[in-house]
Amino acid sequence: MKIRNIGAIAFLAALSTSTNAQSDAVVGKMGNVEIRTSEVRRFIDAQPPEVRKQIAGAIPELDRLVRSELVRLTLLAEAKSKGVDKKAEVQLMMERARELALLSEYMNEVTRPPASYPSEEDVKQAYEANRGQLATPAQYQLAQIFIAAPENADKQLATTAAKKAADLAAKAQAKGADFAKIARESSEHKDTAPKGGDLGWLPETQILPEIRAAIGKMEKAEVSGAIRSANGWHVVKLLDRRPAGTRPLAEVRDTIVAQLRARRAQEIQRNYVDSLMSRTPPTVNQIELPKLQAK
């Protein structure tokens, strides 16, 4: 990997956990603004585990982090130098943001489900209950030869394109024909022609209805006749197919666990707030309310 600058090397060294790296070194500077190892560490430690791992695991990520923090700190310094932080409305917004951050962290702690939730049985039940939403459509691996012929093309162009497509279909259907070679030489689809017409794996929901109707009756390795679509003619080879099915539990387990934990956290929060309001019901002075109306 090519490291872009010497600063990135110094930054990585400064973040090293070596017992010799005791000093709080400057790892970035922008004008009069400096950022030190301890500041970057605090920022990284505040991130979720997966983000921490991504940031700390690559020089480019670390380099981007330092640069973005330097810009942020520089802008903050400018705002303070102009007294923006002294404005009453800004102080109110900052206090409100501080309170919201504190409340968010507190509620996360209060409503966090136990580490043992959900159980494996809970996950299996959720999987079975949602099998319909986890269904996968049939998939087809296709290659094509395409001849452009829009529906509004003039008669001569349409006739020429139709004949060319029919000729290419017959050529591709001949015994021993090299479909990929024909596609590279004759297909007018610039993205797939260099790849021998390979379209890769496609779910049937993403395949043109005209082509889907044709390949549904084809055998593996069979080549279709010329198929008309709104954009032109397609000669399609069915390379392989996968039947419709359901995504396996192992593939969706993490998503199910996250959803179940989020749902349980919401339940815990509702119950907690209901209990709080039951213990200390809120009261509102109805006489004072009209005085708060805008005039």
Domain region containing 216: 138-243
Domain membership of residue 121 (yes or no) is: yes
Structure tokens belonging to residue 225: 């006749």
285 found inside a domain: no
Integer angstrom CA distances of residue 93 from 69, 78, 81, 83, 293: 22, 18, 18, 15, 21
66 and 143 in a single domain? The answer is no
On whether both 176 and 218 belong to a single domain, the answer is yes
| Residue 294 placed within a domain | no
What ranges make up the beta strands (E) of the chain? 26-30, 33-36, 135-136, 139-148, 198-203, 223-228, 232-242, 245-246
Structural domain contains residue 288: no
What domain count does the chain have?
Answer: 3
| DSSP 3-state of 27 | strand
Amino acid at 6: I
227 contacts 209 by C-beta, under 8 angstroms: no
Do 59 and 151 share a structural domain?
no
Kindly state whether residues 150 and 20 are assigned to the same domain. no
- Can you list the residues of the chain whose pLDDT is less than 70? 1-23, 295
The pLDDT value recorded for residue 113 is 96
Regarding pTM above 0.85, the answer is no
Question: Residue 183 in contact with residue 144, Cβ under 8 Å?
Answer: yes
pLDDT number for residue 295: 65
Whether 69 is covered by a domain: the verdict is yes
DSSP string, 36-84: EHHHHHHHHHTS-HHHHHHHHT-HHHHHHHHHHHHHHHHHHHHHHHTTG
Give me the CATH number covering residue 191: 3.10.50.40
Q: Are 191 and 100 in the same domain?
A: no
